[in-house]
Amino acid sequence: MSIFKILWAPWRKEYITKKEKDCFICKKLEDDPQNDRENLILLRGKNTFCMLNLYPYNNGHLLIGPKRHIGDINSLNDEEIIEIWRVASKMIDIIKKEMNADGFNLGFNLGKVAGAGLEEHLHLHLVPRWSGDTNFLPVLSGTKVISEDLKSVYDRLRRYLE
């Protein structure tokens, strides 16, 4: 017997319907590194970046991707591929240590129909998960509980990268 469940996420509507003309990732990466906290950029690697998602599914939801403005996963070079996965691995270790995550979802949304809000700049989503982190609130009231503000999460994670 198969049970099909629908996960409603109406709090994401603002993100989905928001129309930005410029690439928000490039815009933040072009800004002065002194503004990284304001821009939620945790790490600027040689070829990649890591930043907190402004519209997180969970506390500590990160975006990791190439600095280059590319949207096709097949356009990544070997250095970028290796660095993306090294950064992801490092951030998983940090989040396990600092936030006691029980697991993680990792994935690329390739194409609008796959959920990509920004198709033009490839990025990996790293979403920490905790046992029992889903509940009835999103389904019944359209409410998602994010228990910590972004700047606080930024400060907690950033200290491991200094």
- H-type alpha helices, 11-116: 13-17, 24-30, 36-39, 78-99
Query: CA 50, 53, 57, 60 torsion: positive or negative?
Result: positive
The label of the residue with tokens 């003309």 reads 21
Which amino acid would we find at residue 135?
Answer: N
Catalytic residue numbers read 123
Indicate the burial class of 153 (C-beta count within 10 angstroms; 0-12, 13-18, 19 or more).
buried
26-45 burial: b if 16+ Cβ within 10 Å, else e: eebbeeeeeebeebbbbbeb
H-helix or E-strand spanning residue 93: helix 78-99
